[in-house]
Amino acid sequence: MSRLRLKSRQWIVDEQDRIIMGEGRKEILETIERTGSINQTAKLMRMSYKGVWSKIKVTEEYLNLSIVHADRKMGSRLTKEGKELLEKYRLLKEACIEEDNRRFNRIFGGAWPDDGGKRE
Protein backbone atom coordinates (compact mmCIF):
# COMPACT_ATOMS: atom_id res chain seq x y z
CA MET A 1 0.00 0.00 0.00
CA SER A 2 1.12 3.51 -0.78
CA ARG A 3 1.26 5.91 2.13
CA LEU A 4 -0.52 9.18 1.58
CA ARG A 5 -0.15 12.28 3.63
CA LEU A 6 -1.75 15.67 3.59
CA LYS A 7 0.14 18.89 2.95
CA SER A 8 -1.61 22.11 3.74
CA ARG A 9 -0.73 25.76 4.18
CA GLN A 10 -2.34 28.45 6.25
CA TRP A 11 -2.54 32.11 5.40
CA ILE A 12 -3.97 34.88 7.52
CA VAL A 13 -5.58 37.29 5.08
CA ASP A 14 -7.50 40.56 5.16
CA GLU A 15 -10.95 41.29 3.76
CA GLN A 16 -9.55 41.46 0.21
CA ASP A 17 -7.59 38.19 0.59
CA ARG A 18 -4.26 40.00 0.86
CA ILE A 19 -1.80 37.94 2.87
CA ILE A 20 -1.04 39.36 6.30
CA MET A 21 0.83 36.32 7.64
CA GLY A 22 1.83 33.05 6.04
CA GLU A 23 4.80 30.79 5.46
CA GLY A 24 6.75 33.42 3.52
CA ARG A 25 6.37 36.09 6.17
CA LYS A 26 7.09 33.52 8.86
CA GLU A 27 10.37 32.72 7.12
CA ILE A 28 11.15 36.43 6.74
CA LEU A 29 10.61 37.07 10.45
CA GLU A 30 12.56 33.98 11.51
CA THR A 31 15.47 34.95 9.26
CA ILE A 32 15.52 38.54 10.53
CA GLU A 33 15.47 37.16 14.06
CA ARG A 34 18.41 34.88 13.22
CA THR A 35 20.53 37.27 11.14
CA GLY A 36 19.61 40.68 12.55
CA SER A 37 19.49 42.01 8.99
CA ILE A 38 16.77 42.68 6.43
CA ASN A 39 19.43 42.81 3.70
CA GLN A 40 20.87 39.43 4.71
CA THR A 41 17.34 38.03 4.93
CA ALA A 42 16.63 39.20 1.39
CA LYS A 43 19.83 37.57 0.11
CA LEU A 44 19.20 34.28 1.91
CA MET A 45 15.63 34.16 0.64
CA ARG A 46 16.66 35.21 -2.88
CA MET A 47 14.38 38.23 -2.73
CA SER A 48 15.00 41.92 -3.20
CA TYR A 49 15.40 44.10 -0.13
CA LYS A 50 12.36 46.05 -1.31
CA GLY A 51 10.33 42.84 -1.62
CA VAL A 52 11.12 41.77 1.95
CA TRP A 53 10.53 45.27 3.33
CA SER A 54 7.22 45.68 1.48
CA LYS A 55 5.87 42.40 2.90
CA ILE A 56 6.80 43.55 6.40
CA LYS A 57 5.15 46.94 5.81
CA VAL A 58 1.89 45.44 4.49
CA THR A 59 1.61 43.34 7.65
CA GLU A 60 2.53 46.26 9.91
CA GLU A 61 0.06 48.61 8.25
CA TYR A 62 -2.81 46.15 8.44
CA LEU A 63 -2.13 45.24 12.08
CA ASN A 64 -1.34 48.88 12.91
CA LEU A 65 1.79 47.94 14.82
CA SER A 66 5.51 47.65 14.29
CA ILE A 67 6.82 44.08 13.96
CA VAL A 68 10.39 44.85 12.85
CA HIS A 69 12.67 47.55 14.21
CA ALA A 70 15.33 48.54 11.68
CA ASP A 71 18.35 50.58 12.74
CA ARG A 72 21.21 51.34 10.34
CA LYS A 73 23.83 50.97 13.07
CA MET A 74 22.29 48.28 15.27
CA GLY A 75 20.70 46.16 12.54
CA SER A 76 17.17 44.81 12.49
CA ARG A 77 15.26 42.87 15.09
CA LEU A 78 11.73 41.78 15.79
CA THR A 79 9.76 43.96 18.14
CA LYS A 80 7.88 42.41 21.06
CA GLU A 81 4.77 42.46 18.83
CA GLY A 82 6.71 40.86 15.97
CA LYS A 83 7.87 38.04 18.24
CA GLU A 84 4.30 37.55 19.50
CA LEU A 85 2.93 37.46 15.95
CA LEU A 86 5.54 34.89 14.93
CA GLU A 87 4.84 32.70 17.98
CA LYS A 88 1.06 32.90 17.50
CA TYR A 89 1.43 31.93 13.84
CA ARG A 90 3.66 28.98 14.82
CA LEU A 91 1.05 27.83 17.36
CA LEU A 92 -1.76 28.23 14.82
CA LYS A 93 0.18 26.30 12.18
CA GLU A 94 0.96 23.49 14.60
CA ALA A 95 -2.69 23.22 15.70
CA CYS A 96 -3.93 23.30 12.09
CA ILE A 97 -1.51 20.56 11.01
CA GLU A 98 -2.53 18.42 13.98
CA GLU A 99 -6.23 18.83 13.18
CA ASP A 100 -5.70 18.38 9.42
CA ASN A 101 -3.81 15.13 10.04
CA ARG A 102 -6.46 13.86 12.44
CA ARG A 103 -9.24 14.49 9.91
CA PHE A 104 -7.19 13.14 7.00
CA ASN A 105 -6.48 9.90 8.86
CA ARG A 106 -10.13 9.55 9.83
CA ILE A 107 -11.26 10.01 6.21
CA PHE A 108 -8.46 8.23 4.33
CA GLY A 109 -7.14 5.93 7.02
CA GLY A 110 -3.63 7.20 6.21
CA ALA A 111 -3.24 4.90 3.19
CA TRP A 112 -4.65 4.33 -0.26
CA PRO A 113 -5.22 0.82 -1.58
CA ASP A 114 -2.63 -0.27 -4.11
CA ASP A 115 -4.42 -0.63 -7.45
CA GLY A 116 -1.36 -1.47 -9.49
CA GLY A 117 -0.92 2.11 -10.65
CA LYS A 118 -4.38 2.32 -12.21
CA ARG A 119 -5.97 5.63 -11.30
CA GLU A 120 -9.25 6.89 -12.67
pLDDT-derived band of residue 5, with 50, 70 and 90 as boundaries?
confident
List the chain domain ranges. Answer: 11-107
Burial class (CB in 10 A: 0-12, 13-18, 19+), 95: exposed
Q: Which residues contact 113 (CB under 8 A, 6 or more apart)?
A: 1
pLDDT-derived band of residue 79, with 50, 70 and 90 as boundaries?
very high
pLDDT in tens, 87-110: 999 999 999 999 999 999 888 875
Residue 116's pLDDT is: 47
Q: Which residues contact 110 (CB under 8 A, 6 or more apart)?
A: 3, 4, 5, 104
Residue range 11-107, CATH number: 1.10.10.10
pLDDT in tens, 29-68: 999 999 999 999 999 999 999 999 999 999 999 999 999 9
Residue 119's pLDDT is: 43
Residue 2's pLDDT is: 63
